[in-house]
């Protein structure tokens, strides 16, 4: 089982007339759903609220085939107000003080992780201080224990600023989490927020020097790269009519990880990075998963069979 930790929340999506429609969201939560739909055992470790939105989040997680490993919290569910521009690009305003998904510490996270877990995934708002301290502690502990650790950095500097967190402190948290993982996913925008000013490929290699084994860089319409110490592989974006981009990166990374896991090559990352022959089809599968998601409204991850049936 892959254990996933990080935010779960309700996206209140603004319509053209100003009405708000609730949709389940949160990058790690989306990843847990997407991974389970790809046929990989996934467990989500953060608490859900007992309120109506918490019930909805849990029901949707279970319907995807994932398990809820956490407890029920008396705190309310996190909220995000989402609007999209003419390109389908979302922007967010978050409401996350004293909320259920943050009602978690390192000890509770370790306790929620079942024996025999093979991997741990986190990222997103879990890296915003002060929440980062527990997450980085657990990443380092799990990596030392032999769990494969993956991080989707997914930087949100506006959230850090609104919480009064200095941006350099947030940047250091993102870098510490990336250094503690085996596989790191970043966008070109994430790399800039992490303080890198060179090309995405050069910046990714700087991340490798900090301790991770493999960096996956997403570049939107320009596709994605998988970069290790001795390999770099490019995947073009899969053409599709865009409805919106919500959850695209989460579905891409879940598809990428699911391909490696189902082909029996993921655990080898504990010892050495995969070859180009292994990474290329994994990137392609991830790109298909992202394309299917962005052809639908909101985050609607595809199943393994849907992705495999996609025409080349």
Q: How far is CA 153 from CA 23, 174, 270, in A?
A: 22, 6, 20
Q: In this structure, which topology does domain 2-8+27-77+105-308 adopt according to CATH? A: 3.40.1190
Specify the pLDDT at position 271. Answer: 87
Distance CA 193, CA 218 (A): 14
The CA angle 184-243-280, to the nearest 5 degrees, is 35
pLDDT tens column, 281-301: 999 999 999 999 999 988 999
Indicate the domain borders of the chain: 2-8+27-77+105-308
Low-confidence ranges of the chain (pLDDT < 50): none
pLDDT tens column, 267-286: 888 988 889 999 999 999 99
Specify the pLDDT at position 30. Answer: 97
Distance CA 305, CA 312 (A): 14
- The model carries a pTM of 0.95
Specify the pLDDT at position 88. Answer: 61
Q: How far is CA 312 from CA 149, 216, 222, 238, 291, in A?
A: 31, 22, 18, 9, 12
Q: Is residue 166 a contact partner of residue 185, using CB atoms and an 8 Å limit?
A: no
């Amino acid at each position: 089982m892959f254990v996933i930790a990080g935010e779960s929340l309700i996206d209140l999506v603004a319509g053209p007339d100003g009405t708000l429609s609730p949709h389940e969201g949160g990058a790690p939560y989306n990843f847990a759903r997407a991974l389970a739909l790809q046929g990989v055992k996934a467990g989500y470790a953060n608490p859900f609220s007992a309120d109506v939105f918490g019930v909805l989040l849990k029901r949707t997680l279970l319907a995807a085939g994932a398990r809820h490993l956490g407890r029920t919290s008396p705190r309310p569910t996190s909220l995000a107000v989402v609007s999209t521009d003419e390109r389908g690009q979302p922007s967010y305003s978050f409401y996350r003080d004293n909320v259920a998904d943050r009602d978690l510490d390192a000890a509770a996270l370790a306790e929620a992780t079942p024996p025999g877990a093979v991997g741990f995934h986190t990222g997103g708002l879990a890296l915003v201080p002060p929440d980062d301290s527990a997450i980085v502690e657990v990443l380092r502990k799990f990596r030392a224990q032999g769990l494969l650790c993956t991080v989707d950095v997914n930087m949100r500097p506006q959230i850090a600023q609104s919480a009064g967190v200095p941006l350099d402190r947030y940047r250091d948290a993102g870098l510490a989490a990336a250094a503690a993982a085996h596989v790191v996913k970043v966008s070109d925008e994430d790399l800039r927020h992490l303080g890198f000013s060179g090309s995405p490929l050069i910046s990714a290699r700087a991340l490798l020097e900090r301790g991770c084994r493999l960096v996956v860089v997403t570049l939107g319409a320009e596709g994605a790269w998988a970069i290790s110490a001795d390999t770099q592989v490019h995947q073009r974006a899969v053409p599709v009519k865009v409805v919106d981009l919500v959850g695209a990166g989460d579905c891409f990374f879940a598809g990428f990880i699911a391909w490696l896991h189902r082909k029996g090559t993921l655990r080898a990352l504990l010892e050495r990075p995969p070859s180009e022959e292994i990474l290329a089809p994994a990137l392609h599968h991830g790109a298909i998963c992202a394309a299917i998601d962005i052809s639908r409204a909101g985050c609607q991850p595809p199943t393994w069979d849907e992705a495999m049936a996609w025409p080349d």
